[in-house]
Amino acid sequence: MKLTVNETTSAAIGESRITVVYDNNPYKEGLTTSWGFACVIEGAEKTILFDTGGDSAVLLKNMQQLGIGPEEIDADNILLVMGGFHLGALRRAQLEEIIANFRKLGVDKVGPCHCTGELARQTFKQEYGNDFLDVGVGRLIEFE
């Protein structure tokens, strides 16, 4: 497998390409930096947005400047949402509304971890059951 890095903030691996669209480190002039990370992964089968950024306006602006439209992201089947959900200050009713929206979006599995809040983790675990992943340091997640 060959890794090629070019000057357009993309890295290509075989038939795949990764474009960084959100980060706090500047690379390409004209893009906005902010704390967090997101990249668009283009492969033979799907185009995936891996997003842990903190500001959707920055994400969308950078994607537009890089020529990547939101409609290019395959969002018809979201296998897993994992990360710090930052929901510690919310009440159960608010969490249930968020979970209902996850279900409407077709999110199959969740793995809330850092900065999610214990009530939020418990609520996601109750609602997702076997599709809840208990995520922490050292957890290995494999897909077949």
Query: How buried is residue 9: exposed, middle or buried, by Cβ count under 10 Å (0-12/13-18/19+)?
Result: middle
The DSSP output letter for 12 is: E
CA 16 to chain centre: 18
Q: Residue 121's pLDDT is what?
A: 95
Q: Cα separation of 47 and 114, whole Å?
A: 26
Which residues fall within 8 angstroms of residue 9, CB to CB, at 6 or more apart? 19, 20, 27, 28, 31, 66
Question: Of 17-26, 28-37, 44-53, 116-125, which one has max mean pLDDT?
Answer: 116-125
- pLDDT-based confidence at residue 144 (cuts at 50, 70, 90): low
The SS3 of residue 80 is strand
- pLDDT-based confidence at residue 8 (cuts at 50, 70, 90): low
The percent of residues in the chain predicted with pLDDT above 90, rounded, is 40
Say which range, 9-23, 42-56, 109-123, has the weakest mean pLDDT: 9-23
Statement: residue 3 has pLDDT above 60: no
Which residues fall within 8 angstroms of residue 54, CB to CB, at 6 or more apart? 34, 35, 36
Strand partners, 48: 41
Q: Residue 24's pLDDT is what?
A: 84
